[in-house]
Structure 1
Amino acid sequence: MKKLRLLTLVLLPLFAIHASPLRGEAAPVTLAEDAETYTLGNGIVTARVAKASGDLVSLRYNNLEMLATFLTPGGEPDLQRDPPGANPNGLNPRMTDHQYAFWSHDAMGPRGTAPAIARVTIDPRANGGERAEVSIKGVADGRKMGTGPGASPDGQFAADVEIRYTLGRGEPGVYTYSIFEHRPEQPQSAIGEARFCAKLAAFFDWMSVDAKRDLHYPKELRVGDKYIYTALQSANPAFGWSSTEKKVGLFFINPSMEYMSGGPTKVEFLGHRDTNAVAAPCVLNYWRSSHYGGARVEVDAGERWQKVVGPFLIYVNSGASPKAIYDDAKARAVGEAGKWPYAWVRGVDYPSAAERSTVQGRLVLRDDPGAAPSQRSAGMADCRPSASKPARDIADKNVRAPESGTSLQPMTGAAAAPFTRLTIGLTAPDTEWQRDAKHYQFWATGTPDGSFAIPNVRPGRYTLRAFADGVLGEFVQTGVTVEPGKPLDLGALTWTPVRRGRQLWDIGIPNRNASEFFMADKHDDPEISLRYAALFPNDIRYTIGQSDFSRDWFFQHVPHNEDPAAKSSPFRGATAPGRATPYAIAFDLPAAPKGRATLRLAICGTGAKTIEVAVNGRPAGKIDGLAGDGTITRHGTQGIWYERELAFDAALMRAGENTLVLTVPAGPVNNGVMYDYLRLELDESATRTLFIAGDSTAANGNINAIGWGKIAGEYFDPAKIEVVNLARGGRSSRTFITEGHWDRLLEAVKPGDVVLIQFGHNDGSPVNDGSRARGSLPGLGEETQEIDNKMTKKHEVVHTFGWYLRKMVADARAKGAWPALLTLTVRNYWKDGRVERGSGRYDEWIRQVAESEKVPLVDHTRLIADRYEQLGHAEVNAFFPRDHVHTSADGARLNAFLAVSGLKGLREQWLVVALSHAGRQVPVAEPSAVFVPPQPPPPGVDRDEREVFGKWLNLPAPADPALPTIWLIGDSTVRNGRGTGYNKEFGWGDPFAAYFYTAKVNVVNRAVGGTGARTFRAQWERILPQVKPGDVVIMQFGHNDNGARGALRGTGGETEERENAATKQPETVHTFGWYLRQYIAEARARDARFVVCSLVPRNRWSDGKVGRAGDSHGGWARAIAAETGTPFVDLNTLIADYYDSIGEEQTAALFADKTTHTNWAGAVINAKIAAGALHALPDNPVADFMRPGM
């Protein structure tokens, strides 16, 4: 080490170990430097800072080295063995690592790229030895800074980095802070893991990070992995280590949390032992990480951004015991908070106390569980020129539950209610504050009456946010502006939390964590996820009013482990495969409900991607889009908090006992969820709403200019779905949005609603003129054009037609709605006997958006044009009395009729059952007139797992339960997949209804692909209770009745004991014929009639003939029909004869695959043959319902 150049020379006396001297008695601060380091001292501590990087290479307390620094024989830091800055060859390879203290984004950057700038920013010679400060700055011109965890060897973040260390007279510790500055000329960039880490000397053996993790932690202690020591940052401003041998401690103290990420609910590493052989005690101040959902700093090219992280104190102390040392550090933290903002910080974006403000007010809670549905309040965040891009907000919460028990009574009344642990904060606008590390956040605790004061707020624009124990959701108020040095009183603010209806029941306490649930106190046991299977071998059944969630609801809803030898592994958790896990919730209702029920889940930890929901054995929906955060893997009880809702038809519930089942799919055991809170609400006045967004061809209009949307409501049952036509004449996709019509529509949209979108007629108009200025840019891309709009006199960025459609689809989905696109209505333009089909390329672009966004589409253009050409030009002229675009009432009725035909062609059963009597008479559009997005079966789900698989099946129900019903049961040759033509495969049951008067009878195709006579029994159990006198059941099985899931061959009484492949339970398997007898007998017991069909033939040929099944399943079906006196239709022979007649080549054209599944044309032929065969039966049970000609 080169000789030190002394700036101020003062001896460093040893002070009494338990106390710091008064400032008047304390030695002045010294600052010395050599070629490699600065040395700051004050008689209590001596800190040495590397000029090359800003690393703290030595910190001595009363001449005792506190860091794990490698020392030379002379006691100096060995900077040859552990060089400052970029050092991928440390004890933790592949990232910069040291055995002292360092910022992950140091001032060196990749070694050798550019020197750091070292300077003195506070010279103790100029202030009588009161304070010294040094600065090490790295300028990022043409390079990236930061070589810590996750960074490339070439660096990570394109921004200048300045690191400062400050030492004051009499202060038992050194302050450090880092300043990040991204200049506009620097490229787009993002920060990865960002922290300050101190590796401590080997004599430190007691870690204190919070009340639970305050323990003797010698190097030999190896329990679990380091994630069991994470803790809540906001609740623990002082954290670190002490030594039972030396009676000293080292703690980090955050005097403010404004510069940290994730707000008051962020869980993070505060301390652990290093994972290498040295296992040095570590103290970590993470201001941005990827743990527990992580946080983000993303800066665009051209953006000026600066953030000051800190200052925080590296505090050293001493005491008689670890408790005394920790208590002293916590007391010091209170004192440091009182000094914030520090008066000595200069030359960076760090407002002084006089430049900051206090924001105060009073939040008034009005929350009535019995009230009508409410809407979300809107509300406040720091928006500087560097504000991040808008993102969907994910609410957040924290703290523990006050008590256990299931609430069946209102938690609060309609009057103002007191708060429990109210948390109020100011965050940046348009950010997910839980994932935000880019901006500053300011949080405070409110009083029970809702009063709050948030001190030391920087000037800026903010969003005010609040959450509290016992209240689901988050208060939000936008547009709060804080001016320099001016206190802001917001007055009384009313918070009416969102409710979707009357509360039926709830489980847990909304407090942003899972701490109140069973075994949550053991969350830091790495094996806890595996223990669920032993604790609940039959899974959860929770009875409202009887069960206690502190005892009966396991805090992790995870796949059920079935491997007794499974273990958890460090950093990865329990990865053994587990089966799907149902959590059943039983509850009573006094009467059968109507309207809409909404299941509301507050989730605080996520590994799963979906949760399946079933009510009384019937699929209610799937909650997906879950936000993975690793909280279960990393042994926590809270990560990213968010809400998910599932609205479903209340008719799924009934008077008396009900069961709602939440199922986490099979997968690795740690792929589950943790609930903060669950609630079921009922809006008995609610129906779905079908919104129409479009132009004048859909708008209500007036005489001789009526849009189809005005008529559409006639085809829907208003008790099941309300049609709201918000189409507006003269609007394009662009102006429907820019004029606010789309926002008004979105305000009214609720989960489960339908949004039909049809634009294009006006999108080809001029982009900017003095009359309308309504055109969008042509095409689908991301191109834009900036204009000063001659109509609105405002600056506007104009996008492409495709961009506006994509926005509408995304916005509707974000509200939980079901969007669908329609191509344009047809104008009365003809040429050579054919009408114009579409306007320019808009139909093509609409179809391309549908395909790219996987959104359903009705080809309204084709349906209308085909009908017009059937009618002829002369008759169509009568539909257009005013011009070539706008229709009369009759023209509008035809267009509405065809729109409904297209919607029926999408074959979404929940929409079909909402049709009125008139709507049920509308024929179903052929598949070529619609686009149904591919919806393959859920991955990894066995077809016998009906609770999970059922929602995907899109199973139909009788449209009018008062009418007789024809039930079709069978396999995929009757109904394949969802019945929507996945892979262009259709069963003959899909077009079968066309041969019947649907005003007289329901035709319900409940066949399920992959099933046989044996395995369909699970489906039959749900159908049979709906079968009533006068119904007819038509059955066809045989394709899947071989192999492990099949029945025994034949018709006799033989049985065989097997293990069911799906349930893993013993099962007595019978013959194919035995199962057919059961179906017939059970239907007849309900006074229904029955028809047996033989299986349709496959496309397999031999000697010029299609193969028959007369000597196997087809023959056995015939035998059972004869034995039981049941009408029999030999589809196998009839269809095979037809295939023989047209030949092998033409038959192949009727199949979507090689041998089994027909396309639409093939399904239509098979349906026609089936209908004809029924008509020919001497005792045809459906004769009264069949259309003529059969």
Structure 2
Amino acid sequence: MNFTNCFMILMLQFILVLGSATKPRVRLDIQDKHVIIDNGIVQVNLSNPEGIVTGIQYNGIDNLLEVLNDESNRGYWDIVWDQGGEKRTKKGAKGKGRFDRMEGTNLTVIVNNEEQVELSFTRTWNASLEGKLPPLNIDKRFVMLRGSSGFYTYAIYEHLKEWPAFDLDNTRIAFKPRKDKFHYMVVADNRQRFMPLPDDRSPPRGQVLAYPEAVRLVDPVEPHFKGEVDDKYEYSCESRNNHVHGWMSIDSLNSTGFWLITPSYEFRSAGPLKQYLTSHVGPTTLSVFHSTHYSGADLIMKFGPNEPWKKVYGPISIYLNSQSNGFSPTKLWEDAKQQMVNEVESWPYKFPASKDFLSSEQRGKVEGRLLVRDRYISDAFIPVSGAYVGLAAIGDVGSWQRECKGYQFWTMTDDKGFFSIINIRPGDYNLYSWVTGYIGDYKFDRVINVTSGCKIDVGELVYEPPRDGPTLWEIGIPDRSAAEFYVPDPNPIYINRLYVNHSERYRQYGLWERYAELYPNEDLVYTVGVSDYRKDWFFAQVTRKKDNYTYQGTTWQIKFKLDSVNTNWTYILRVALASVHGAELEIRINKVDANPGLFSSGVIGKENSIARHGIHGLYWLFSIDIQGSLLVQGNNTIFLTQLQNKSPFIGILYDYIRLEYKRSTS
């Protein structure tokens, strides 16, 4: 290295040190009832020893959080839980559970220097608390760094082996910004708008609809919201896209942004497609780590009485930004997105002091290549771009979408099928994948043991999706979503203007009611080769409303023609479902009253995706053999009957249906 290069490096180091020195140091002030951390940009006030965020001072505003709320209802971690097994309450069995704001009982200063303050608020469980609090040791951490426009938080949950069984339904962190300042909300580039006030949701200004979360604004404070529906589920987001969202203030001179940034979803439950709440009227902004939304009871974490468990949730970033030359949602949002990119690139963070949060050096890497071979399309081994490949707990094919106690690590294949999964915590995993355009799930047949610093090359993996013969016909796109099917315009009295002419038009309230309006007397009939699934296949097979109190199941028909039928062949109907809620699907061939039918799913699913505008929940795949003797040359009909009729939200979201055949081997 020559003298010039050495001089330049020394000068750069000097500039960095000088720049750091010019930023105010991080200061800690411990009081009787509160703890204050301050880096000269942001000041955060926490209750002592509970660890509730009671105030955030930034950009000349004394408190960004709702000062009208009790201090315990401004910024807090919470958990919904219940006792396990037979002790689970009747209320809990319905998914309501018991709410706990996870208040700490002890404060410990973990790090306190000019560059960083890290605080730990802990609560230790003992047998005297059984039935009163979840059997968990809880350690909530708050971190402030020098020069950072915001702060970080994470938590460690621990259930010891000798402790009683319990169920964990939901856990998250919630912030309540001030309603007099934060009126503009952003979830994505195409999902942002001025929002109603929380007052608009309360009678007589608001009218509750079919469930409490959905409210029609009949007399809002701001008249331009009149007639709209406000529903927090309209702003839910898949985990893979749920990295940054939040609120902006409106000030002609000095505007402020309040953002939640989640740099990794390794600690969230159920993989990339799991949908979570984000921000909604309150104003409220959430980072949800585990929930049963769009999944139901299948995603309740059930811990046995002798089951040890520990998990780190986070860290997440609370990022604040400002603009001094008027209100521009675009500028504040673009800056928040860039900060999100910075946080993602910094993952795993180096600053957390807990030994339970592992650094990059303590983690491993798995790489390889994924090919697909569908021999009835091509004998070639085809590299696929954009396939998801991930590591999750050891389980069955597709079990990742119901897995919630461990960590998951996902990536996507490049245009040649190569993938690299980095920063994996040590442990034993299965490797899973699914590929848009193909049905089913892939699972690598060996357990992968990841150790600190390892680099594992699994080589070329080949996914052969379910297939026994050529396609006779198909309906839809195998992409685990019902979005490609016909989504009607909403009833004008139940509209959210954000989603008019929107790519996610299915997020409108009340779309399930449109089915009976479109098919008042007869159910849907789809004719292969004539009908267009984008126009003629309603996005959800729902019940039909008979009167104000009762509903009836529905029977859809698929009509198709066969030029010839071989009674020695087995025809196979592949039915992939994007979501199910309390439904029972029966399938019959050519005889609508055949008893028994060809197939019955039984009552399955508790996902509530139809009511919550989710367009998908859990993925289900059924492969049904049809003996050639059941079919005829010429016109045939498949009857899809959904039997259950208890509510308007019972139903099925189809993903994809295909009829194929395989020749007899005899």
Alignment TM-score, normalising by the size of structure 2: 0.81
Alignment of 1:542-553 (within 5 A): 542-553=526-537
Contact 1:519 1:555 in 2 (8 A): yes
Aligned partner of 2:315 in structure 1 is 311
Contact 1:315 1:329 in 2 (8 A): yes
- Cα deviation, 1:840-863, whole Å, max 9, x if unaligned, reads xxxxxxxxxxxxxxxxxxxxxxxx
Aligned partner of 2:382 in structure 1 is 417
Secondary structure at the aligned position of 1:227 is classed as helix
- 1:25 is displaced (CA, Å) by 3.3
Alignment of 1:499-518 (within 5 A): 499-518=467-486
- 1:297 is displaced (CA, Å) by 2.5
User: AA paired with 2:138?
Assistant: V
Secondary structure at the aligned position of 2:320 is classed as strand
Aligned partner of 1:292 in structure 2 is 294
User: AA paired with 2:112?
Assistant: D
Contact 1:39 1:47 in 2 (8 A): yes
- 1:671 is displaced (CA, Å) by 0.9
- 1:425 is displaced (CA, Å) by 0.7
Aligned partner of 1:554 in structure 2 is 538
- Is 1:194 the equivalent of 2:171? yes
Distance (whole Å) between structure 2 residues aligned to residue 23 and residue 314 of structure 1 = 21
Contact 1:512 1:676 in 2 (8 A): yes
User: What residue ranges of structure 2 are gaps of 5+ in the alignment?
Assistant: 1-17, 81-97, 198-219, 489-503
Distance (whole Å) between structure 1 residues aligned to residue 638 and residue 434 of structure 2 = 28
- Cα deviation, 1:447-474, whole Å, max 9, x if unaligned, reads 1321111111111110111112101011
1:335 to 331, 342, 356: 342
Distance (whole Å) between structure 1 residues aligned to residue 540 and residue 103 of structure 2 = 50
- 1:420 is displaced (CA, Å) by 4.8
- 1:111 is displaced (CA, Å) by 10
Alignment of 1:831-842 (within 5 A): none
- 1:498 is displaced (CA, Å) by 1.8
Contact 1:244 1:322 in 2 (8 A): no
Aligned partner of 2:598 in structure 1 is 620
- 1:555 is displaced (CA, Å) by 0.6
Secondary structure at the aligned position of 2:428 is classed as strand
Distance (whole Å) between structure 1 residues aligned to residue 545 and residue 257 of structure 2 = 43
Aligned partner of 1:131 in structure 2 is 116
User: AA paired with 1:235?
Assistant: N
User: AA paired with 2:559?
Assistant: A
Aligned partner of 2:32 in structure 1 is 35
Alignment TM-score, normalising by the size of structure 1: 0.46
Give the 3 Å change call, closer, same or farther, for CA 247–257 of structure 1 in structure 2. same
Distance (whole Å) between structure 1 residues aligned to residue 129 and residue 287 of structure 2 = 22
- Cα deviation, 1:883-925, whole Å, max 9, x if unaligned, reads xxxxxxxxxxxxxxxxxxxxxxxxxxxxxxxxxxxxxxxxxxx
User: AA paired with 1:41?
Assistant: D
- 1:669 is displaced (CA, Å) by 2.5
Contact 1:577 1:666 in 2 (8 A): no
Distance (whole Å) between structure 1 residues aligned to residue 370 and residue 291 of structure 2 = 32
Distance (whole Å) between structure 2 residues aligned to residue 597 and residue 55 of structure 1 = 61
- Is 1:607 the equivalent of 2:598? no
User: AA paired with 1:557?
Assistant: Q
Alignment of 1:631-642 (within 5 A): 631-642=609-620
Q: CA RMSD in A?
A: 2.5
- Is 1:82 the equivalent of 2:70? yes
Secondary structure at the aligned position of 1:333 is classed as helix
User: AA paired with 1:510?
Assistant: P
- Cα deviation, 1:534-588, whole Å, max 9, x if unaligned, reads 223433222222222111111111122344xx6xxxxxxxxx5333322211222
Aligned partner of 1:182 in structure 2 is 159
Secondary structure at the aligned position of 2:658 is classed as strand
Distance (whole Å) between structure 1 residues aligned to residue 264 and residue 62 of structure 2 = 28
2:401 to 429, 434, 437: 434
- 1:418 is displaced (CA, Å) by 4.1
Distance (whole Å) between structure 1 residues aligned to residue 247 and residue 461 of structure 2 = 43
Aligned partner of 2:145 in structure 1 is 168
Give the 3 Å change call, closer, same or farther, for CA 357–114 of structure 1 in structure 2. closer
Aligned partner of 1:587 in structure 2 is 560
- 1:620 is displaced (CA, Å) by 2.4
Give the 3 Å change call, closer, same or farther, for CA 236–112 of structure 1 in structure 2. closer
Distance (whole Å) between structure 1 residues aligned to residue 230 and residue 533 of structure 2 = 27
Give the 3 Å change call, closer, same or farther, for CA 651–310 of structure 1 in structure 2. same
- Is 1:260 the equivalent of 2:268? yes
Alignment of 1:817-836 (within 5 A): none
Secondary structure at the aligned position of 2:542 is classed as coil
- Is 1:661 the equivalent of 2:649? no
- Cα deviation, 1:326-354, whole Å, max 9, x if unaligned, reads 22111111110111111111233122111
Contact 2:105 2:123 in 1 (8 A): yes
2:459 to 488, 491, 505: 491
Contact 2:255 2:322 in 1 (8 A): yes
Aligned partner of 1:1034 in structure 2 is none
- Is 1:272 the equivalent of 2:280? yes
1:671 to 645, 650, 657: 650
- Cα deviation, 1:910-964, whole Å, max 9, x if unaligned, reads xxxxxxxxxxxxxxxxxxxxxxxxxxxxxxxxxxxxxxxxxxxxxxxxxxxxxxx
Distance (whole Å) between structure 1 residues aligned to residue 599 and residue 175 of structure 2 = 49
Alignment of 1:673-688 (within 5 A): 673-685=652-664
2:61 to 61, 64, 70: 64
- Of structures 1 and 2, the larger Rg is shown by 1
Aligned partner of 2:283 in structure 1 is 281
Secondary structure at the aligned position of 2:429 is classed as strand
Alignment of 1:1138-1177 (within 5 A): none
Higher helix share: 1
Give the 3 Å change call, closer, same or farther, for CA 543–354 of structure 1 in structure 2. same
Give the 3 Å change call, closer, same or farther, for CA 656–111 of structure 1 in structure 2. closer
Aligned partner of 1:46 in structure 2 is 43
Secondary structure at the aligned position of 1:162 is classed as strand
User: AA paired with 1:315?
Assistant: Y
Aligned partner of 2:508 in structure 1 is 525
Distance (whole Å) between structure 2 residues aligned to residue 35 and residue 25 of structure 1 = 31
Higher strand share: 2
- Is 1:362 the equivalent of 2:364? no
Contact 2:119 2:142 in 1 (8 A): yes
- Cα deviation, 1:1044-1096, whole Å, max 9, x if unaligned, reads xxxxxxxxxxxxxxxxxxxxxxxxxxxxxxxxxxxxxxxxxxxxxxxxxxxxx
Give the 3 Å change call, closer, same or farther, for CA 322–113 of structure 1 in structure 2. closer
- 1:419 is displaced (CA, Å) by 2.3
Aligned partner of 1:247 in structure 2 is 255
Contact 2:111 2:118 in 1 (8 A): yes
2:187 to 203, 209, 213: 209
Give the 3 Å change call, closer, same or farther, for CA 271–557 of structure 1 in structure 2. same
Q: Alignment identity in percent?
A: 31
Distance (whole Å) between structure 2 residues aligned to residue 598 and residue 38 of structure 1 = 65
Contact 1:134 1:165 in 2 (8 A): yes
Secondary structure at the aligned position of 1:627 is classed as strand
Contact 2:59 2:322 in 1 (8 A): no
Aligned partner of 1:142 in structure 2 is 127
Distance (whole Å) between structure 1 residues aligned to residue 307 and residue 128 of structure 2 = 17
Aligned partner of 2:551 in structure 1 is 578
- 1:256 is displaced (CA, Å) by 0.7
Secondary structure at the aligned position of 1:328 is classed as helix
Contact 2:367 2:458 in 1 (8 A): yes
- 1:282 is displaced (CA, Å) by 0.5
Distance (whole Å) between structure 2 residues aligned to residue 26 and residue 613 of structure 1 = 69
- 1:433 is displaced (CA, Å) by 2.2
- 1:144 is displaced (CA, Å) by 5.2
Give the 3 Å change call, closer, same or farther, for CA 293–22 of structure 1 in structure 2. farther
- Cα deviation, 1:598-638, whole Å, max 9, x if unaligned, reads 22211122124311212112542323242221111212201
Distance (whole Å) between structure 1 residues aligned to residue 660 and residue 642 of structure 2 = 22
Distance (whole Å) between structure 2 residues aligned to residue 69 and residue 226 of structure 1 = 19
Equivalent residue pairs, number: 571
